[in-house]
């Protein structure tokens, strides 16, 4: 089956996720800089989550662009990814409202970890669904960057209880690692 509906659905879900996150930014009840101070943790968590959702959207787009067809297992794998991504606004809000307390940061890291696992599953479902077109398989290769990201997310969960800022720093480092779009797929499609 074609991939158009899958792409449209995913784009819509991701747009809603971003909209929900921005709605969590409440307007302060003052007109001076001091009124903005309590919003700093909420804003920082929003920025990080916006970057993460953007990274997923960008890489999801490239991955689907490199695929020619989808099947039922791909649809379910994609829905699985959308489920975990849809929890990012909740985890973001809880983390920001509680000024990066250990449990909310651990939940945020766990949500990112499970999103990365779901992305990995989707990636491999697409590869198996497109056996004649090996562009995606060649581009992904051993996916060291993806595996390293999963490990860092996983480590950030328990680390949040021991050193919350170290855990948060790991999450920021993974975002930096992925901030520039993954060029492997584009390069594989050109060759």
Q: Are 144 and 182 in contact (CB under 8 A)?
A: no
pLDDT per residue of the chain (191 residues) written in tens, 0 to 9:
778 999 999 999 999 999 999 998 888 888 888 888 888 999 999 999 999 999 999 999 989 988 888 999 999 999 999 999 999 999 999 999 999 999 999 999 999 999 999 999 999 999 999 877 777 888 888 889 999 999 999 999 999 999 999 999 999 999 999 987 666 666 666 66
CA distance 6 to 12: 10
pTM of the model: 0.92
Six-digit token string for 33 = 């800089």
Six-digit token string for 4 = 């158009």
Question: Domain-by-domain residue ranges, the chain?
Answer: 4-190
CA distance 59 to 44: 23
Six-digit token string for 11 = 């784009």
Q: Are 118 and 83 in contact (CB under 8 A)?
A: yes
Burial of residue 124 (number of CB atoms within 10 Å: 0-12, 13-18, 19+): middle
Six-digit token string for 134 = 């090996």
């Amino acid at each position: 089956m074609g991939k158009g509906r899958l792409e449209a659905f995913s784009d819509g879900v991701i747009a809603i996720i971003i909209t929900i996150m921005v709605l969590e930014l409440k307007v302060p009840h003052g007109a001076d800089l001091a009124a903005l101070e309590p919003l700093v943790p909420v804003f920082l968590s929003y920025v990080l989550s916006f970057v993460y959702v953007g990274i997923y959207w960008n890489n999801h787009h490239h991955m689907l662009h490199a695929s020619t067809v989808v099947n039922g297992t791909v649809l379910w794998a994609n829905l699985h990814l959308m489920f975990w991504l849809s929890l990012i606004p909740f985890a973001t809000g809880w983390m920001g409202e509680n000024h990066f307390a250990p449990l909310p940061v651990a939940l945020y890291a766990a949500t990112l970890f499970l999103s990365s696992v779901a992305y990995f599953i989707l990636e491999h479902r697409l590869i198996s669904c497109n056996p004649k077109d090996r562009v995606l398989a060649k581009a992904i290769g051993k996916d060291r960057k993806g595996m390293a990201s999963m490990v860092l997310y996983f480590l950030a969960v328990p680390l949040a209880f021991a050193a919350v800022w170290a855990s948060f720093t790991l999450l920021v480092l993974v975002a930096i690692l992925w901030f520039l779009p993954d060029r492997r797929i584009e390069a594989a499609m050109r060759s």
